[in-house]
Amino acid sequence: MAAAERGSREERWSLAGATALVTGGSKGIGGAIVEELAGFGARVHTCSRNAAELECCLRWEEKGMRVTVSVCHVSVPADREKLMDTVRQTFDGKLSILVNNAGQHLVKPTVECTMEEYKNVMATNLESSFHLCQLAHPLLARAVGGNIINISSIASSIGFAGSTIYTITKGALNQLTWSLATEWAPHNIRVNSVAPGFIATDMVEKGSKTHK
């Protein structure tokens, strides 16, 4: 984006004073979200499982963006609680934006999927989002106008051969979004989904290899 265009957008869309938690921000779509939010002045915390890749996120600090990181396996309940404790302490108990982005794509014929794989993809893509919304609720309610953005997929609303478990999680994520949007509107918390099509990230790269 040209510097002048970015400059005029920044004047209109400042996030100075906002705080954000983006799960899975070490790379891919989550990495782009972290950079965009921090670029508009928000303080951002992000997490993933890979400590070495998270260290690379500190490059944003060198550019003057305020980004902190911690290792978290979002499919593990105790890790999610620890993550929200870290966020609470880092942002003085207030969170403006929660982006549930961390996710995994399992590409496999349905009859070959194991129960272990089912539980793992469900826990990573769906249970983690549900639980992080619950844990973040008091922090979001304390911010002036909290926001949740669940990263869904076009696979949430179409048939997608070879990706049944993934599509179940994304369809349910849409339903989580609709239900929380109505339940938490009186608490001044907005809840939305974004459903991207194909974006060339490690996830798509791994999926295409699985198909071959």
Which residues are marked as active site? 166
Tell me what percent of the chain is helix, strand and coil, each rounded to the nearest 5.
Answer: 55, 15, 30
Which segment (69-77, 80-88, 106-114, 176-184) binds ligand NAP by CB under 6 A? 69-77
Task: List C-alpha distances in Å: 81 to 24, 87, 166.
Answer: 16, 10, 24
DSSP of 68-136, one letter per residue? EEEE--TTSHHHHHHHHHHHHHHTTT--SEEEE-------S-GGG--HHHHHHHHIIIIIHHHHHHHHH
CB of 120 to ligand NAP, least distance (A): 8
**For ligand NAP, which is the closer residue by CB, 80 or 94?**
80
Report the distance separating Cα 34 and Cα 127, nearest Å: 22
Among 18, 19, 20, 28, which residue sits at the site for ligand NAP (rule: CB under 6 A)?
A: 28
Among 18, 42, 72, 176, which residue sits at the site for ligand NAP (rule: CB under 6 A)?
A: 72
Among 20, 84, 102, 148, which residue sits at the site for ligand NAP (rule: CB under 6 A)?
A: 102
Report if residue 82 touches ligand NAP, rule: CB under 6 A.
no
Give the side-chain half-sphere CA count within 13 A for 9.
Answer: 11
Report if residue 199 touches ligand NAP, rule: CB under 6 A.
yes
**For ligand NAP, which is the closer residue by CB, 183 or 205?**
205
Per CB under 6 A, residues contacting ligand NAP are 24, 26-30, 48-50, 53, 72-75, 101-105, 124, 151, 153, 196, 198-199, 201-204
